[in-house]
Structure 1
Amino acid sequence: MIRKYLGALSFAILAVASLAAGALTATAEPRVTIKYAHCCPADHTYGVYAHQLAERVAANSNGEIVIEVLDGGVMGSEQAAAQKVQLGTVQMSGITANNVAQLAPSLNVLVLPYLNGSPDDLTGEGGLLRAGAYRDELNKRVLGESGSIRVVGGYTNSFRSLFSKDQCIDSIDDLQGMKIRAPKNPVMTAMWESWGVSTYPIAWGETFGAIATGVVDGFDSPTDVILNMGFHEHIKYITEATYLPLAAVVIMNEPFFQSLSEEDQAVILLSAAEVDVSHAEFVASNGERVHKALTEDHGVTFCELQDAEVWAEKAQGAWPQLFELVGGGEDWVNMTVKYRDTGAF
């Protein structure tokens, strides 16, 4: 079902059209500067989104609004960056949903294993992270829980894959005894525990060193991380699983957003909506390039789960104990599932 964003986005389109109609051919001097922090290099999927957004905001504002992209995690871990947005130290950021959930537990619904069957459930037409009724409701909850964080966009980086230094992970039995790094998120921790694994909650910025030195044997993340961030030096086995498509949210400090004029707010919302679409197209086309480079240039082996149904059964069996970790509890989970399936609450 095609769902249109009829609220702020409709106003955004009209407002930006009005700005464009009256704009001079010369680019205006920057009037508003927004600092946007994210975890990764500029050519990583997160960086691609950030720089696409900077380009669209500049174009839609005739150069009057500038997004200054802070690549490479210079503002600290994702959790630290989320806190900086909450405080207003940084105005904007693109952060993995589980790392914002510490401040807004309703986002933990996006971390439930096997809730979404594909990245399209998040960023395809009518997806949970596309501008529309669901994201409006999500934003309302995030604002209420965090006090000062607004969701203005969303993206994904396909599914999280399993990475190992020394062996293929073909079955759930292969996990036993492995030292696995995982994000410090209670929902994700419970998922791993359902598979019989005690994880190491190592910060993302410390993961490369932990893999290199043998502190951990493996971790999970989208596949392109291995190529774009040099992990192929140590990771030689990848299992592309389907338990969790990575969900990331573009967040903005609410007091800063409200300090902008309605026209400037409209530019931000429209630009994010445009990039939500263009970035999803980029992610869809990026997988084949990454797979080819890893196998042909870096000798990485891709493995296949032989008992995927066991993983799903165990992880989904843990859902009832996870409801209390999700802001809004079971009701919010059920609302999310209904919207995913029907396009309505």
Structure 2
Amino acid sequence: MTLKATILASVAAVAMPVAATAADLTLRFGHVGNPGSLFEASANAFAECANGKLGDRAEVQTFGASQLGKDRELLQKLKLGQVHFSLPSSVMSSVAPEFGVFEMPYIVQDRDHMRRIQAELGDVFQEAALGQGYRIIGYFENGFRHITNNTRPINTPDDLQGIKLRTPNGEWRVKMFQQYGANPTPMAFSEVFTALQTNVIDGQENPYAQIASAKFQEVQKYLSITGHVYTPGYVLVAESQWQKWPEDVRADLEACGAETQDFVYAHATKLETDLLDVIREAGVAVNEADNQAFIDASAAIYEEFATSVDGGAELIERIQTLASGS
């Protein structure tokens, strides 16, 4: 063997073990959040936590702005193993009926209330997810939702009469806005800006973090602060994929799901102030809606959920009881 061949063989012998052990488990985290969104910050914080714990055993990579697919596509890709984590929110009500309870107007009062719901009822939602082949490894958030549109300020449900309003793909959000008198139009988040810009729809409803990061303030005249729904975000994996990963990797990922929640809630709270200013400064007229008028108009939605979803009445009651911390 020549000297050159000997050196090359030695280099290869040294390099091979490194390549075999250097994060050959790559885990892709796909979400629909745009740059600057709460989803982006949340997914990146989770990845930072996970990669710090995992070392060279695995690496979490994040892909936002629907690069790996829209919400429904991501749910399918999880089961196919093409994506390893997603961050769905409202769309979970179409995965399992129990998640529809978070579509009930004003049912979640604040983040402390959500923490109590997670602590007391987390098993209910985990079982619902597992029944559809998914596992929740963390609770983040999409946030408190508000209405923007180009027609008029929304003070009461009557002001929504006839307004073409984009909603996520979830039956209860559609039913809620039909009850209020709007013309709800389910649509993927990535399509909303163009639909607003071209007047295909009049308005939409989202938390400030999604409104501002998607630049809806550039194509909307009015923001009405309704806070009508609080949507959790779920760090979701496919159970079939999850069971294939090493136990120590799963333990670290679950730990990061829990640890990142504090960052998500703190960051979301800050964005609620900062981004409302951004939206105002863009020239959008802002008004405080009459929340009680919306609550009064929501009784039929609660009744339908309670009677049509197995265990729905009890789930509503338990969540409402937790509002006071009792």
TM-score normalised by the chain length of structure 2: 0.87
Q: Which residue number in structure 1 is paired with residue 11 of structure 2?
A: none
Taking the TM superposition and a 5 Å limit, the aligned residue runs for 1:64-83 are 64-83=57-76
Q: For 1:128, what is the secondary structure of its paired residue?
A: helix
- The reply on whether 1:236 has 2:224 as its aligned counterpart is no
1:94–1:76 CA distance, 2 compared to 1 (3 A): same
Q: Which residue number in structure 1 is paired with residue 93 of structure 2?
A: 101
Q: For 1:40, what is the secondary structure of its paired residue?
A: coil
Residues 107 and 319, structure 2, Cα contact 8 Å, conserved in 1: no
For residues 28-76 of structure 1, the C-alpha deviation after alignment (integer angstroms, 9 at most, x for no partner) is 7214211111002242111111110100001112243211111110222
Taking the TM superposition and a 5 Å limit, the aligned residue runs for 1:41-80 are 41-80=34-73
Q: For 2:116, what is the secondary structure of its paired residue?
A: coil
Q: Which residue number in structure 1 is paired with residue 8 of structure 2?
A: none
Q: Which residue number in structure 2 is paired with residue 260 of structure 1?
A: 245
Residues matched between the structures, number: 306
Q: Which residue number in structure 1 is paired with residue 16 of structure 2?
A: none
Q: Which residue number in structure 1 is paired with residue 255 of structure 2?
A: 270
Q: Which residue number in structure 2 is paired with residue 317 of structure 1?
A: 300
Larger radius of gyration: 2
* Letter in structure 2 aligned against 1:72: A
* Cα root mean square deviation, aligned: 2.0
Taking the TM superposition and a 5 Å limit, the aligned residue runs for 1:1-345 are 29-96=22-89, 98-122=90-114, 126-129=115-118, 132-144=119-131, 146=132, 148-296=133-281, 298-305=282-289, 307-323=290-306, 326=309, 328-342=311-325
* Letter in structure 2 aligned against 1:299: G
TM-score normalised by the chain length of structure 1: 0.82
Distance 2:185 2:153 in 1: 20
Residues 119 and 156, structure 1, Cα contact 8 Å, conserved in 2: no
Cα offset, 1:322, TM superposition? 2.0
Give ranges in structure 2 of 5+ residues lacking alignment. 1-20
1:203–1:169 CA distance, 2 compared to 1 (3 A): same
Distance 2:63 2:189 in 1: 17
Distance 1:168 1:134 in 2: 37
Distance 2:31 2:97 in 1: 20
* Letter in structure 2 aligned against 1:334: E
Provide the identity percentage: 22
Distance 1:200 1:82 in 2: 21
Q: Which residue number in structure 2 is paired with residue 15 of structure 1?
A: none
Give ranges in structure 1 of 5+ residues lacking alignment. 1-27
Cα offset, 1:325, TM superposition? 5.3
Q: Which residue number in structure 1 is paired with residue 9 of structure 2?
A: none
Cα offset, 1:226, TM superposition? 2.5
